[in-house]
Amino acid sequence: MKRTLVALTLAAVWAPPAAPQSPSPVPVGQDEPVSALPREGDHRYRLVGKVRPLLFWIGNNNVGGARLTWQPLDDSGRALDLLIGADPERAPRGVDAWGYIREEMHGDRAGVFGIRSVNDAASLSEAELALGRDDAAFGVLCAAVGATQARAWTTTVIVPRGVSYRHFDRLLDAVASAPRWTSHETTRLPGTAPGFLAALDRLISGSVQAARAGAPHRAAPVRYLYKGGQYELRLRSEKRIDALTVGKKTYQRAVRGEFEIGTLATGDTTRFTITYGTIGDLAGVPLRAAYEPRWWLKLELALDDDLGVPADPAADPAMLARIRRACAAAMGEPLS
């Protein structure tokens, strides 16, 4: 499956590029467990990256970071936010891919905002060639998900090379002045999650509840929306672990889940693993995530709440207001 360079970085926690809607959809995942993930929380992760130019892996155990945030909203809604990126001065071959996704859920409605680096490199040499450019392209998504319909607006913006996940405001400047957006529309079937993070929340919640009860568990796939496409997130297997060491810390009673994203229109799949806690404050919290998108690239996220990672942009009311104004403009709504 063709993926952008940032999808190589984010696929363990985000979606692959969109594809047309499946012609024969089947409702899935309608029996939603009560969320076992935190109602409110904020965790930071160390990004480990390795490349294999020839026979041996080379890389760095600290090439960037990520921040995963759960936030309750005033109307009993909930927001899930993920900011993730590489620091080019530490990343293998100077890779500087990064992205951000925010999913706000209000009952059966939701709003989604996302940005991600765009680069269609299929090999290490192509990725290195792209890094020689003076500018960088970012794909932008704004989506409004209703009970039965979903619309999304997408655009691409160009910013100077070096605008990393530590410079979110500079990227947002370009989004605010984007001259053209493309609209996508799709039907939302019963049980369909509004986005990838919500679908992942649902699957991990069911797995955590079963692990706490000591019961066997077989999760139904969960369909979710991305741009104009329908995707399916599957929990293919689970392994319960008595103790897991991540860095210098050891966590008790975790589950290692093998996940798969299916593109319904094409049958293409993307696989990754997430190991998550089941007890205490870390119940449902990812402790480690791993993904090997290409023969030459390995990526891993490891929980490290001492790491210096930029704050969630939406935690700043002024920044959140800017995001909402940009999406309102994309949707053709009056600006507030």
pLDDT-based confidence at residue 87 (cuts at 50, 70, 90)? confident
Per-residue tokens: 193:
């999650």
DSSP 282: G
Q: Which domain holds residue 326?
A: 5-16+38-331
Does residue 302 sit within a domain? yes
**Counted domains in the chain:** 1
CA distance 8 to 139: 14
CA distance 198 to 78: 10
Does residue 336 sit within a domain? no
> pLDDT at position 222, please?
96
> pLDDT at position 16, please?
39
Q: What is the pLDDT of residues 207-238, one digit of tens each?
A: 999 999 999 999 999 999 998 789 999 999 99
Residue recorded with tokens 């600006």 = 335
Q: What is the pLDDT of residues 10-58, one digit of tens each?
A: 443 333 333 333 333 333 333 444 455 556 899 999 988 765 544 444 4
CA distance 108 to 110: 7
Q: What is the pLDDT of residues 189-199, one digit of tens each?
A: 999 999 999 99
Does residue 32 sit within a domain? no
Residue recorded with tokens 């090999």 = 123
CA nearest neighbour of 35 among 267, 192, 169, 205: 205
The contacts of residue 324 (CB under 8 Å, 6+ apart) are: 336
Does residue 249 sit within a domain? yes
